[in-house]
């Protein structure tokens, strides 16, 4: 195409010269975008990497394009109004609420088990292996179900999948609360894991597909708010029922059936995603749903643009299994890499380790009462929840990219602060000065350690000491009571934390003057992680795939999240043994930094765009996709999303 034809075409589309800039005449592979720049001027952009567009097609779609150009004149509200979404969003909020109950159950069921385990191991006399099984079976089942959820989502639709997940949650909750033995408990935990996996990948997709563009980020982020809310409520329930020595765990585990039934009943009355209906050719139903959820009859523009783009995408995405089509279609492949990368770095930056070990960290910081541990975990979960709320507020203001980048760099720094705190604590580790003559202690490995640091890293030992002001006196390394790590198996610390001997029992930590640095690191970590790296991987994944690839893309990335979750939780204790605590946290910090550079290069801004336009953000080389972020520019698709073979792309990855 020559510059002259380009100008001619632009004027046919209603653009005057001066309205557009940045025309490049590299004609072999052109794709054009109309964009609204920050200064308010319309820009007609030519971009590499796409076949030349067919003139008639763009002309035919000109009125629609102009409407979309107007719709995108500014971020947020304007775009929704111009695109005909001027109805009340109340119904969408209701849909988001009932969907996000799935997030709540995800948080509740993963969070509640630590408190339940304290009671279960005593009541059912569980070995370490069984404890491990009951905790990780759920996460393992979630990983498998998330991967399978892609197929279910495409075949059954989002609504049926959510109904299925809430049904599974309800059944799982009932089984757990009535379980007569550990084998049935394991079945219950596996069933609940299946529910978590399906819900974790379906809910964000459903919310994204029913939301208007200007609210989408916020509504999907509410799902993560519900996850952290579920984790917080779980820790409060754990605290409340921990005083019930018999059967407290039945309430803890069984209570999840309540929100599950609520969600099931709610979803009987909620509609299917209009995008999925359109994809299945149920156009009339799709239009009705859209009219209903936008609370206006004026949905023609939105309906037409979704429909035409879905049709184009369907034609152009080729045949074969969806995963294969994603891998061979450059923009979808890039989206998948970004989506999986986000989920992987979310877990590799250690959120679940930090949450799990928060009670220990707080004990190090001077909170000595072991009975308080469960409430300390609640305080951490609450902080996580509170800062996720900040994310809900920021996501449509700062945008996904800035929020993620700010969050991950802050997370990397806080992990280093945590590591420095652990390092200084290790260096100031008090020596063992008292060697008890108790025969059972003499046989244990604990007597070999000369410093608290080494004693604490051995899971079989704990540190027993007295205090005079800030001076540690009469300290010994004693074997832990395997049934109750809150006390030593024998000796001065064997009865309770602070027995009649006036001695303190430190399991998993050492008394140290640097604990405030560790505490500072923990607070900073949650403040940075929760608004961005907590919710954005879920939010961005719900947006970046074209419809034909959305279920499979989300299934893969959610699967990666769960697999990395298992990996990090299973390896932490071994890592702490080999690398020490500070080594482990420096490693997480390094991984978070790596994540920062990955996102700096690859993560585009998706704020305010229609889902159908987002694929175009991945039209360039992967490491330059991030360049689409940061500028307040909205790209409007002129032609359908061709999926080019790699040879067609002048600037492949
Ligand atoms: O986004 C969530 C959230 O940040 C949770 O606190 C965490 O436990 C999950 O693993 C994560 O996926």
- The number of beta carbons lying within 10 Å of the beta carbon of residue 33 is 20
Apex CA 203: angle with CA 197 and CA 209, to 5°?
140
Decide: helix, strand or coil at residue 25: coil
Q: What is the reported pLDDT for 364?
A: 67
Atom 11, ligand 1: residue with shortest CA distance:
534
| Beta-carbon contacts of residue 125 (< 8 Å; ≥ 6 apart) | none
Q: CB–CB of 19/41 below 8 Å? A: yes
Q: CB–CB of 283/300 below 8 Å? A: no
Q: What is the reported pLDDT for 534?
A: 97
Lowest-confidence range among 141-155, 184-198, 294-308, 408-422?
A: 294-308
Q: What is the reported pLDDT for 643?
A: 58
Of the chain, the percentage scoring pLDDT greater than 90 comes to: 47
Q: Which of 177-191, 299-313, 363-377 has the highest mean pLDDT?
A: 177-191
Q: CB–CB of 92/210 below 8 Å? A: yes
Mutate to test the pocket of ligand 1, among 351, 391, 403, 531 (most ligand atoms within 8 A of CB): 351
Asked if pLDDT for residue 301 goes beyond 90, the answer is no
Decide: helix, strand or coil at residue 8: helix
Please list the residues that pair with 42 across neighbouring strands: 36
**Alpha carbon of 184 to ligand 1 centroid (Å):** 27
Question: Average of pLDDT values for 21-40?
Answer: 35
**Alpha carbon of 228 to ligand 1 centroid (Å):** 7
* Tens digits of residue pLDDT in 526-578: 999 999 999 999 999 999 998 889 999 999 999 999 999 999 988 887 888 78
Decide: helix, strand or coil at residue 310: helix
Q: CB–CB of 309/612 below 8 Å? A: yes
* Tens digits of residue pLDDT in 320-346: 788 998 998 888 999 999 999 999 999
Cβ–ligand 1 distance for 383 under 6 Å, the answer: no
CA–CA distances in Å: residue 560 to residues 178, 241, 342, 380, 587? 32, 34, 10, 25, 20
Atom 12, ligand 1: residue with shortest CA distance:
534
Please list the residues that pair with 505 across neighbouring strands: 464
Atom 3, ligand 1: residue with shortest CA distance:
534
**Alpha carbon of 544 to ligand 1 centroid (Å):** 20
Atom of ligand 1 nearest to the CA of 200: 12
Cβ–ligand 1 distance for 384 under 6 Å, the answer: yes
617 vs 10 pLDDT, higher one: 617
**Alpha carbon of 471 to ligand 1 centroid (Å):** 39
Asked if pLDDT for residue 653 goes beyond 60, the answer is no
**Alpha carbon of 435 to ligand 1 centroid (Å):** 44
- The answer to whether ipTM exceeds 0.90 is yes
**Side-by-side strand order, sheet with 634-637:** 42-47, 31-36, 634-637
* Tens digits of residue pLDDT in 425-459: 888 889 999 887 766 666 788 888 999 988 988 88
Q: What is the reported pLDDT for 14?
A: 58
**Alpha carbon of 617 to ligand 1 centroid (Å):** 27
Atom 4, ligand 1: residue with shortest CA distance:
534
Of the chain, the percentage scoring pLDDT greater than 70 comes to: 77
Cβ–ligand 1 distance for 228 under 6 Å, the answer: yes
**Alpha carbon of 545 to ligand 1 centroid (Å):** 22
- The number of beta carbons lying within 10 Å of the beta carbon of residue 2 is 9
Kindly provide the residue ranges of all beta strands, DSSP E only, lying in 25-148, ordered along the sequence.
31-36, 42-47
Lowest-confidence range among 1-10, 164-173, 319-328, 631-640?
A: 631-640
Atom 8, ligand 1: residue with shortest CA distance:
352
Please return the burial class of 632, using the count of CB atoms within 10 Å of its CB with bins 0-12, 13-18 and 19+: middle
Q: What is the reported pLDDT for 172?
A: 96
pTM recorded for the entire structure: 0.80
Q: DSSP character for 618?
A: G
**Alpha carbon of 269 to ligand 1 centroid (Å):** 29
Query: What count of residues does the chain have?
Result: 653
Q: CB–CB of 545/311 below 8 Å? A: no
CA–CA distances in Å: residue 58 to residues 49, 445, 644? 18, 77, 19
3-state percent helix, strand, coil for the chain, nearest multiple of 5: 65, 5, 30
Widest Cα–Cα separation across the chain: 96
Q: What is the reported pLDDT for 22?
A: 38
Cβ–ligand 1 distance for 415 under 6 Å, the answer: no
CA–CA distances in Å: residue 194 to residues 144, 168, 553? 8, 7, 18
Q: What is the reported pLDDT for 457?
A: 84
Q: Mean pLDDT score of the chain, rounded to an integer?
A: 80
123 vs 254 pLDDT, higher one: 254
Q: How many CA atoms lie within 13 A of 316 on its CB side?
A: 20
Dihedral of CA atoms 452, 453, 459, 460 in degrees, nearest 10, equals -30
Cβ–ligand 1 distance for 534 under 6 Å, the answer: yes
Question: Average of pLDDT values for 263-280?
Answer: 94
| Beta-carbon contacts of residue 360 (< 8 Å; ≥ 6 apart) | 508, 509
Mutate to test the pocket of ligand 1, among 386, 534, 557 (most ligand atoms within 8 A of CB): 534
């Amino acid at each position: 195409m020559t510059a002259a034809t380009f100008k001619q075409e632009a004027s046919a589309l209603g653009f005057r010269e001066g309205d557009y800039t940045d025309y490049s005449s590299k004609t072999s592979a052109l794709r054009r975008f109309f964009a609204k720049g920050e200064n308010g001027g319309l820009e007609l952009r030519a971009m590499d990497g796409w076949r030349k567009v067919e003139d008639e097609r763009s002309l035919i779609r000109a009125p629609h394009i102009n409407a979309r150009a107007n719709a995108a004149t500014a971020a947020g509200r304007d775009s929704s109004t111009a695109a005909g979404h001027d109805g009340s969003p109340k119904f969408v909020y209701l849909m988001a609420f009932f969907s996000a109950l799935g997030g709540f159950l995800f948080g509740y069921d993963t969070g509640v088990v630590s408190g339940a385990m304290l009671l279960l191991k005593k009541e059912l006399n569980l070995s370490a292996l069984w404890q491990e099984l009951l905790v990780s079976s759920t996460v393992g089942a979630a990983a498998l179900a998330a991967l399978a959820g892609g197929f279910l989502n495409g075949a059954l639709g989002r609504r049926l999948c959510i109904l299925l997940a809430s049904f599974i949650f309800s059944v799982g909750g009932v089984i757990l609360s009535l379980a007569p033995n550990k084998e049935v408990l394991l079945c219950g935990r596996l069933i609940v894991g299946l529910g978590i996996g399906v819900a974790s990948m379906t809910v964000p997709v459903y919310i994204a597909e029913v939301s208007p563009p200007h609210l989408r980020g916020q509504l999907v982020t509410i799902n993560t708010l519900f996850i952290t809310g579920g984790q917080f409520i779980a820790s409060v329930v754990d605290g409340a029922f921990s005083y019930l020595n018999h059967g407290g765990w039945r309430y803890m585990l069984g209570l999840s059936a309540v929100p599950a039934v609520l969600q099931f009943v709610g979803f009987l009355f909620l509609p299917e995603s209009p995008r999925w209906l359109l994809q299945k050719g149920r156009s009339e139903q799709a239009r009705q749903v859209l009219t209903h959820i936008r609370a206006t009859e004026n949905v023609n523009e939105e309906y037409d643009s979704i429909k035409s783009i879905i049709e184009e995408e369907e034609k152009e995405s080729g045949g074969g299994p969806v995963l294969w089509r994603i891998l061979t279609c450059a923009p979808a492949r890039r989206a998948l890499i970004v989506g999986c990368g986000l989920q992987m770095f979310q877990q590799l930056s250690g959120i679940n380790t930090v949450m799990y070990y928060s009670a220990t960290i707080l004990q190090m910081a001077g909170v000595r009462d072991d009975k308080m541990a469960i409430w300390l975990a609640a305080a951490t979960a609450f902080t996580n929840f509170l800062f996720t709320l900040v994310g809900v507020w920021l996501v449509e203001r700062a945008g996904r990219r800035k929020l993620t980048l700010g969050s991950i760099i802050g997370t990397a720094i806080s992990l280093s602060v945590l590591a420095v705190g652990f390092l200084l604590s290790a260096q100031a580790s008090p020596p063992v000065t008292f060697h008890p003559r108790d025969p059972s202690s003499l046989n244990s490995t604990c007597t070999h350690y000369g410093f608290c640091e080494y004693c604490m890293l051995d899971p079989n030992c704990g540190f027993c000491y007295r205090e005079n002001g800030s001076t540690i006196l009469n300290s010994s390394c004693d074997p832990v009571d395997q049934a109750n790590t809150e006390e030593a198996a024998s000796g001065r610390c064997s009865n309770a934390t602070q027995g009649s001997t006036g001695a303190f029992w430190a399991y998993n930590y050492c008394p140290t003057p640097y604990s405030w640095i560790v505490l500072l690191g923990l607070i900073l970590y949650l403040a940075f992680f929760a608004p961005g790296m907590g919710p954005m991987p879920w939010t961005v994944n719900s947006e970046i795939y074209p419809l034909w690839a959305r279920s499979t893309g989300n299934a893969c990335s959610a699967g990666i999240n769960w697999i990395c979750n298992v990996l990090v939780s299973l390896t932490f204790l071994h890592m702490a043994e080999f690398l020490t605590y500070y080594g482990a946290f420096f490693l997480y910090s390094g991984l978070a930094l790596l994540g920062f550079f990955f996102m700096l290069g690859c993560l585009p801004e998706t704020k305010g765009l229609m889902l159908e336009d987002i694929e175009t953000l991945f039209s360039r080389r992967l490491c330059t996709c991030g360049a689409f972020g940061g500028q307040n520019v909205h790209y409007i698709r002129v032609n359908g999303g061709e999926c080019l073979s790699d040879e067609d792309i002048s600037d492949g990855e």
